[in-house]
Every structure is written in C-alpha cells, then in structure tokens.
Amino acid sequence: MTKDISVQMKGITKRFPGVLANDRVDLTLHAGEVHGLLGENGAGKSTLMNVLFGLYEPDEGEILVNGRSATITSPATAISLGIGMIHQHFKLVRPFTVTENIILGLREGGPLLDLKAAAHRVAEVAEQYAINVDPQARIHDLSVGQQQRVEILNSLYRGANVLILDEPTAVLTPQEADDLIITLRGMAEQGKSILFISHKLEEVMKVTDRVTVLRAGQKVFESLTQDTNKQQLAQEMIGHQIRELKRGESAFVMALAGAGEDVGIEHHVLEPSRTQATLTVRDLHVNDDRDLTAVRGMSFSIHPGEVLGIAGVDGNGQRELVEAITGQRPITQGQVWLAETESTTWSTRDYIDHNVAVITEDRQKEGLVLNFDLTRNAVLKIFEHPTFAKNKLLKFNAINEFTEKLIESFNISTPNPHVAVGTLSGGNQQKLILARELSQSPSLIIANKPTRGLDIGAAAYVHQKLNDERDQGTAVLLISGDLDELFALSDRLLVMYEGQSMGILPIEKAGIEKIGLMMAGTPQSDTASA
C-alpha cells in the first residue's frame, strides 16, 4: 500500500559538467521512519537530497510526494509540500532571537507583527516534539547543538512532515549527537519521515530504521537496519570486501567509516619521552581575521615518534593555531620552539627551510597550484634546492626524475607527470601533497584535516602514511574534526574549546564521553598539562 509512503524518488539522474552525480537512483521514504542515506564523500548523497529539496532540478526521473507526482523547482516549492532540510551550515541570523529567525519570511498575523504570540506558538511546537530551546534566546548565545535544534524547529513550524538532515552530527559534540538522535526518534514516533545523510556507520546503526547506500552516484544497497551490520555497510560503501584488505588497512577503513572506537587498530605504547620535544608551544595567544583573540594561552609539546591529535568543534581556534605555528599568522603572545630553536617570529619560508611538512586543510587552494603540472607542484617548496636548480636555472631532468619517483612510491594515478594537477582526483592530489611533504624526511608533520573530502580508500592510504612516519620517529600534529580519525591515529588527544586547551589525555584514557564533555567546554581534572 502507498498510504504510508511519504516520498518516492524514481530513476533520479543529475549530471554536472564531466560528472554523473546521480545515476537512475530510486528511494522510498515511509512515514514514521528514519531512513539513513549512507555513502562516501562524493557518492551523490547531498546531490540527491538537494534534488528533493528543490535546490537542483533532476535531468531525469520523477518525484512523488504522498502518492502524487511533484515538480520541485525551488526550496519554496519543497516547503509547501511539507519537505524541510537542515544543512550542515546553519542559515540563521545570529543577532536575532529564536522566534525572529523562525518567523522570518512568513506572512501571518496580519499587518502588525505580534512577537509575543509568535513566541508562544514556537514554544508550543518545541514542546510537542520535546525540543528544548528558549524562543527568546538570541542565536549568538546558543551552542551549536541548540542552533541545530532551532533549524529543526524552523522546519516543523512550517509544517514539514519530511525532514532532510545533511551530516547533522558533523558539527556536534558526542553528547549533542546523542541528544539529536533522541529528538529524531521522537519525531519519527509522531509520524514524521526523516532522511538522515551520513557516512558514519555507528550513528546510522543507532538511529535509522532503514538504510540505503550510494556509491559513485548509484544506489547499490538497501536494507532494514536490523537486517544488516557495520561490516556489510562498509564493504557496500567502498565496493569490495573488508577482509581482503591487510589488517591495518581494514582497521583504518572501518575507523574512517565511523564504526566506533573499537575497530581493531593497534596503538603503540608511548613511553615517557626523555628526548628533546620536536615542537613546543608555550602560552600561545593568536588573533583571528577580526583581530579578536582566537587562541588563548595554548601550551603543549610533541616528541619524536608521537601523534598529538587536536579535537574540537570547528571554529574553536584550530585554523588560527595552525597558521600561527607555520608562520602564516602573527603571534600576539607566547612562544613556539622547534626542537631547541625558538621559531615564534619565523616566516613560512623559515619553516620550509627547517623541513617542517604541512598538509593543509584545503589542498586545492593552499596545497597545490591546480594549473601547474605534477613536476612543478612536486618541487613547489624546494625548487631552489641545488638538486633542482643551478645559477637560478631549473634542472628539468632532475625535477622529472624526482617526480616520477614520487608517482611510483606513492602510487599516484596519472597519465604522465606533465598533466595539470587539477585534472587528478582528490585522492591523487592528496597523494601528491603527501609525496612532496614527506620526501624530505621531515622531523615534524602538521596535518590539518588531511582526509577532508577523500573517499575511504584514499583516506586510509593517508592514515597509513602518517602512521608509518610516526613509527619512523617523526612527530605528527593532527588537527581534525573527525573523532574516528583522531582515535585511529593519535597517541594523545588535546581538546580545544573557544581557543583554549581543555586538557590533554593519553588515547587509552580518552573515551568518547570524556572527550565530548571537553569539546563542550568542561575541563577534565585527570588530564596532562602538555
């Protein structure tokens, strides 16, 4: 029967120049269920949901809402059909109150706006769905989790029966993510239909009733959640059997797929170091682009053969910290030392000359010159080295030979070394950055979200390389918003909140609940200072 089907998407195809984002995808959503849409980065999940919400028009296919064919040409059309979408990046006016944000753009109550009555209606909807938020609170005073509740409330207030949530836990602490799951289950029990987009197996298994897997734009798997498991979902996501991988590779793949803390990764025992710290940061203060303090009194050190992970919700000073300790942003107070040499006032060139490897957050804007070929990108930081230049003239044979060795050693898929880097896949672009940065045997690697936007296979390769470097005695500073990645690689975890350190924990003592509390601003008494 179709009466319990809220949405059907039949044969949806969406093309962009050079990309088939969705390839004849079918999806059926039932009333009162949470339906998980699972897949790697680039699998086509967000594109499919943007089609449903009217942000894109499909090139082929049909959408039925409550059994009737619907042409959804805009978000306004979607909202009128009872479809709401909560994006990763919230669409809220920060100085406004919760109520003002929710009624923004609505025409109700006649020519005069009655904010008191509107706040009362907002409170009624919030109470109905057990969403704990103050209608009079201003957005800039709310936590990220509370802001997300406002977005959900915004859709419910407009009468949404279908809610699309795009990677909703990506910006939340673990405790906020658990609260969200309770809210979603409660909404489903009241008959709402929830589309839950994710690439995290643990949360999909916890919250959904049914799960669909997309891979390379195609629907490859669908099942009731209770009839499948993490292992099966992971292999559907990546396209081959997990057991065919080497033990270390399979553990990294399961960690990257969000299978939880216990995925079989063996952490080496970190002995108390008596060696000189590779990087020391003391009482660091750094301002952001608005000249407001973004990093407040940060202190830590990293020793040879150690990965120090930095956890925290995005926007808590991580970017400013990285830029300060790589010479890209001035330090207003405090000191930075590279081994026994103070580097507080160093430029980016100074760090390059002292063989510090940096894997940037945005490989295309900061790590590579996309219209340069592989050879020029391979020596981008070291082209003045005597190996590659003499009397200010480049030695092209030496550069070509060096690049070909990197391509072979790091398994970079490319027709030849002379194609533009912009034509390579994201994974191969990241492999080139790794090859360039690691080719000089650095003593320190600063890796800022090194697997951002990569598929699981490419991300697992990056993890393995960082792990290998650590085992060879390199110090690694890993900044990531992905707790699974941090737990997979780190020996110790430092948590940042509003630019401050909430403490440092050995990985064996860093449980999800404890780290989550620290991410929300609660220091832990049993943490180490540095």
Tokens of 379: 């020596």
Q: Which residue would you say has higher pLDDT here, 275 or 33?
A: 33
User: 315 pLDDT band (50/70/90 cuts)?
Assistant: confident
Mean pLDDT for all residues in the chain: 88
Residue 246 has pLDDT above 50, yes or no: no
**Pick from 440, 474, 507: which residue ends a domain?**
440
Q: Considering 417, 440, 463, which residue would you say is the last residue of a domain? A: 440
Same domain membership, residue 365 and residue 427: yes
Is 72 within the bounds of a domain?
A: yes
Taking residues 157-174, what's their average pLDDT? 88
Question: Does one domain contain both 386 and 320?
Answer: no
Average pLDDT for 33-37: 95
Q: Say if CB 215 and CB 237 are below 8 A apart.
A: yes
Higher pLDDT, 145 or 272: 145
Whether residue 351 lies inside any domain: the answer is yes
Same domain membership, residue 471 and residue 375: no
Q: Out of 122-131, 137-146, 169-178, 188-197, pick the least confident.
A: 169-178
Question: Rounded mean pLDDT of 136-149?
Answer: 89
Q: Contact, 385 vs 392, CB < 8 A?
A: no
Looking at residues 409-416, what average pLDDT do you find?
A: 88
Compute the average pLDDT of residues 232-241. Answer: 79
101 and 206 fall within a common domain: yes
Within 13 A of 366's CA, how many CA atoms are on the CB side?
Answer: 15
- List Cβ neighbours of 21 (8 Å cut-off, separation of 6 or more): 14, 15, 44, 47, 217
pLDDT by residue (tens digit) across 423-477?
A: 887 888 989 999 999 998 899 999 999 987 777 777 888 898 999 999 999 999 9
Q: Is residue 530 part of a domain?
A: no
CA-closest candidate to residue 384, choices 343, 349, 429: 349
**What is the pLDDT averaged over residues 392-397?**
90
Do both 423 and 498 map to the same domain?
no
Which of 411, 440, 469 finishes a domain?
Answer: 440
432 and 462, same domain (yes or no):
no
Confidence of residue 105 (pLDDT cuts 50, 70, 90): confident
Q: Using the structure block, give the residue that is written with the tokens 């039925």.
A: 64
Q: What value does the mean pLDDT take over residues 382-393?
A: 89
Read off the pLDDT of each residue in 85-100 and give the average, rounded to a whole number. Answer: 88
Question: Phi and psi for 431 in degrees, rounded to 5?
Answer: -60, -40
Do 185 and 324 fall into the same domain?
Answer: no
pLDDT digits (tens, 9 = 90+) for 180-222: 899 999 999 999 999 999 877 888 999 999 999 999 899 999 9
For residue 255, tell me if it sits in a domain. no
pLDDT value for 170: 78
Residues 401 and 289 grouped into a single domain: no
For residue 198, what are the CA distances in angstroms to 210, 317, 379? 13, 26, 37
Residue 258 lies in a domain: no
**Side-chain half-sphere exposure of 252, counting CA atoms within 13 A:** 21
State the pLDDT at residue 454. Answer: 74
- The H or E element containing residue 212 is strand 210-215
Q: Is the pTM of this model over 0.85?
A: no
What pLDDT score was predicted for residue 1? 40
Q: What is the DSSP code string of 469-488?
A: HHHTT-EEEEE-S-HHHHHH
The range of the structural domain enclosing residue 346 comes to 275-355+444-522
Taking residues 303-316, what's their average pLDDT? 93
Average pLDDT over every residue of 294-307: 96
Q: Assess if residue 268 is contained within a domain.
A: no
Are residue 406 and residue 449 in the same domain, yes or no? no
Q: For residue range 40-52, what is the model confidence (pLDDT) as tens digits?
A: 777 888 899 999 9
| Position 257 confidence tier, pLDDT thresholds 50, 70, 90 | low
**Together in a domain, 27 and 174:** yes
> Does a structural domain hold residue 252?
no
Helices (H), 93-189: 98-103, 115-128, 144-157, 174-189
Query: Are both 436 and 453 inside the same structural domain?
Result: no
Read off the pLDDT of each residue in 321-335 and give the average, rounded to a whole number: 96
Check residue 358 and give its pLDDT.
Answer: 95
pLDDT at res. 241 = 52
Q: What distance in Å separates the CA atoms of residue 413 and residue 428, rounded to the nearest whole number?
A: 6
pLDDT band at 247 (very low <50, low <70, confident <90, very high): very low
In total, how many domains does the chain have? 3
Residue 176 has pLDDT above 50, yes or no: yes
Residue 458 forms part of a structural domain:
yes
Q: What is the CATH number of the domain that holds 490?
A: 3.40.50.300
Same domain, 455 and 419: no
Give the number of other CB atoms < 10 A from CB of residue 18: 5
* Residue range 337-353, pLDDT digits in tens: 999 999 999 999 999 99
Q: Is the pLDDT of residue 391 over 90?
A: no
Share above pLDDT 90 across residues of the chain, in percent, rounded to a whole number: 59
| Rounded percentage of the chain residues whose pLDDT exceeds 70 | 91
